[in-house]
Amino acid sequence: MWWTSPIWSRCAWRNCPTNDKQGIQRAISRRHIALIYAGGTVGMTKTARGYAPMDNFDAALATLLDGQGERLPRYTLHAYADPIDSSNATPADWLRIGSDIAARYHEYDGFVVLHGTDTMAYTAAALSFMLQGLRKPVIVTGSQIPLDAARSDAARNLVGALTLAASDDINEVALFFDTRLLRGNRSTKASAARMAAFDSPNYPWLAEAGIDMMFNRGALLPRPAREAFALPAAYPGMVLSLRFVPGMPLAALQALLALRPDALILECYGAGNAPDRDPVLLDLLARASADGTAVVACSQSPHGRVAIGTYAAGAGMGAAGVAGAADMTFEATYAKLHHLLALGLDAAAIRDRFVVSLSGEVTA
């Protein structure tokens, strides 16, 4: 893992000297956190038909956490009656979670969202765009193994997320998993098998949990003067994606464009390269842009940034109206396009606004 100008320290609670662990614990225990259980593996149990939501999640959670006493902040559980399997999550589910946080924002000192891992990074990115200007922590977490199973990672993730949600120095949507605190809109699921399931390839970790919780203060968003929430009434746009592979027929792109998407993400090679041997491809993209589809290019490579025109093979896309996603993750790109469309922006305005950072999702 690489770090950019890190300024590390242990204490993230105001008026607590870094060596005053008792003072830190007292500060934590006075906080009140909203624990929103939206769904996911953390609240499932093994059945004859596979994993399914457990009936007594609140009791299992209390058994796990209540023994911690004052080592954790006080929490109130808000459990969805219809837990979301994250592979079924939609933008409407992002809006439901974001609206729940906004409605309870002044009642709590911080928020923890329990979510399934498959689309956790999408939800974290979407929440960061809805809840701009946060002055409290919103920590998204879950687990690879159900809470009631042997070797579950739920306790470690929950305890870490609740502790971080009581911090004064986190003013953004973050994702905590295993030992890593990541910016929510910089995170991506990196493993379906390891406990350290998430990483942020193009941005340093915000904190790492070891013997102490070590914060990378230079990576954290500064505390804003005021909130600037931007929750849409709905997500009406259609965002599709196409991954370039060697020998892909143009009929695949034509079929997607026939659906008349509001935005199209091209998953390109390297720094934003696409096959340009057939001029029809660039003509299709140019016509799509002219017809009102916002077309953006991201990279299939997790590290690095898109710079359209670095190679001749990608130079024509800029002229065709394709915007580069710079160093945004695919998840942030997808959620941001939905957000900009929900604001009512047309394709030209989206191209202009797309690489402007809203919540630290892209490097200027």
Residues marked as catalytic: 41
CA 88 to the chain's CA centroid:
16
Report helix, strand or coil for 242. strand
DSSP sequence for 140-208: EE--SS-TTSTT-SHHHHHHHHHHHHT-SS--SEEEEETTEEEEGGG-EE--SSSS--EE-TTS--SEE
Six token digits for residue 255: 């079929």
Nearest to 244 by CA among 300, 318, 184, 284: 300
Question: Which residue in this structure is represented by tokens 């077309």?
Answer: 295
Cα(346)–Cα(331) distance, rounded to whole angstroms? 21
Neighbours of 339 (CB within 10 A): 26
Cα(252)–Cα(341) distance, rounded to whole angstroms? 24
Residue 41 sits at φ, ψ, to 5 deg, of: -55, -35
Specify the amino acid at residue 128.
Answer: S
Report helix, strand or coil for 345. coil
275 CB-contact burial (10 Å; exposed 0-12 / middle 13-18 / buried 19+): middle
The answer to whether the CB of 40 falls within 8 A of the CB of 145 is no
DSSP sequence for 73-119: -EEEEEE-SSPPPGGG--HHHHHHHHHHHHHTGGG-SEEEEE--STT
Neighbours of 255 (CB within 10 A): 11
CA 63 to the chain's CA centroid:
29
